[in-house]
């Protein structure tokens, strides 16, 4: 004797019948990058910015995107061992960084705020 569960499994679902009647839509091909896309205006993080004289002492005086500026500042911090050994999130400023931060210590989270004040579009 058949149980109710076996009868439900044997009967096709209504959704299955609809799916077999209509062919599946083909995925639209992705657009390749064109020359117009390559010349598009860069977003805010990729926009080259001119560093101030104080910041240029660390990263150089040529315009750089914000991400590269932060990377070069981190290179300076690591090279001169300026992270607090007890709290790695804290940066102990040397003479060059004191001009940028305006204080002896700065957290790595506040650093970007201070760097933004020394970058101009």
Q: Which domains does the chain have, with CATH numbers?
A: 50-120 (1.10.245.10)
Residue 91: strand pairing partners: 83, 106
In the block, which residue shows the tokens 């990263």?
A: 59
pTM greater than 0.85 (yes/no): no
Residue 106: strand pairing partners: 91
CA pair distance 115, 79, nearest whole angstrom: 19
Interval 54-102: pLDDT, tens: 999 999 999 999 999 999 999 999 999 999 999 999 999 999 999 999 9
């Amino acid at each position: 004797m058949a149980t109710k569960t076996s009868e439900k499994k044997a009967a096709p679902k209504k959704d299955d019948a609809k799916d077999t009647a209509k062919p599946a839509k083909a995925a639209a091909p992705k657009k390749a990058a064109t020359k117009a896309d390559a010349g598009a205006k860069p977003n805010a993080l990729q926009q080259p910015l001119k560093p101030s004289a104080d910041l240029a002492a660390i990263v150089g005086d040529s315009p750089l995107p914000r991400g590269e500026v932060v990377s070069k500042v981190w290179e300076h911090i690591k090279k001169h061992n300026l992270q607090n050994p007890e709290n790695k999130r804290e940066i102990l400023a040397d003479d060059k960084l004191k001009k940028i931060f305006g204080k002896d210590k700065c957290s790595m989270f506040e650093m970007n705020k201070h760097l933004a004040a020394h970058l101009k579009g």
